[in-house]
Amino acid sequence: MTAILKVDTIQDTAGNNIINESSDTITIGASGDTIAIPSGATITGSGLGKILQVQINANNTLGQASTNSTTFVDVSGVDVTLTPASTSSKIALWSNFNFDSGGNNQGISARLTYNHSGISQTEVDPNYDDYNMSSTVGGSRITGWYTMMNYLAPSTTNEITFRMQFAASGSYTTYFNRKTLRIMAMEYSSWL
């Protein structure tokens, strides 16, 4: 035999609603409480620390981009777009690219940017501005791979465009390989 208990509201001893049918709310604990989840227990549901979507730029045959400007310029043709499901979503970002400093004792800088709702390209993490890929004095021309890992809490449900930018550290020409550039954006919800 199956027993069913139906109620509209359950309150704790202080008179606080724990379950409120009219608002479809279940309150577990209060501010400052510790909620223990036993080892081996499974939490199910939607929107509880779940990956909501992953976007990555497609394979392409685009050639190198180049610049001799010390001002950041766009790397065209390899944008990634993502429309968040919720304003509370977070986005984890990975980017991987190949570069060429263009000469001895030279350097190149790169950064990942985003825009939405009509704002201009804004750097995801300004800390990357403090570093560039460069050879030391007396060093040789360098080529190589570089990986960035970023985090963004955009607080929007408007489409976001992620774009790479790069700059030279001097008046010489540096190169950025668009064919192998990968940008991956992973939206996730957090219940914490």
Whole-number Å distance between alpha carbons of 117 and 176: 28
Buried b (16+ CB within 10 A) or exposed e, 126-160: eebeeebbbeeeeeeebeeeeebebebebeeeeeb
pLDDT in tens, 38-81: 766 665 655 456 889 999 999 999 999 999 998 999 999 999 99
Q: What is the pTM of this model?
A: 0.72
Class of domain 51-188: mainly beta
What are phi and psi for residue 16, nearest 5 degrees?
-85, 135
Task: Write out the two tokens for 6.
Answer: 């139906």
Which of 64-73, 111-120, 132-141, 157-166 has the least mean pLDDT?
A: 132-141
Bridging pattern class, strands 17-20 and 107-115: unpaired
Average pLDDT of the segment spanning 22-35: 67
Average pLDDT of the segment spanning 161-178: 89
pLDDT in tens, 84-109: 998 989 999 999 999 888 877 788 88
Question: What strands lie across the sheet with 17-20, from one edge to the other?
Answer: 9-11, 17-20, 25-26
**Domain regions of the chain by residue span:** 51-188
Whole-number Å distance between alpha carbons of 113 and 179: 19
pLDDT in tens, 125-144: 887 766 666 555 556 777 88
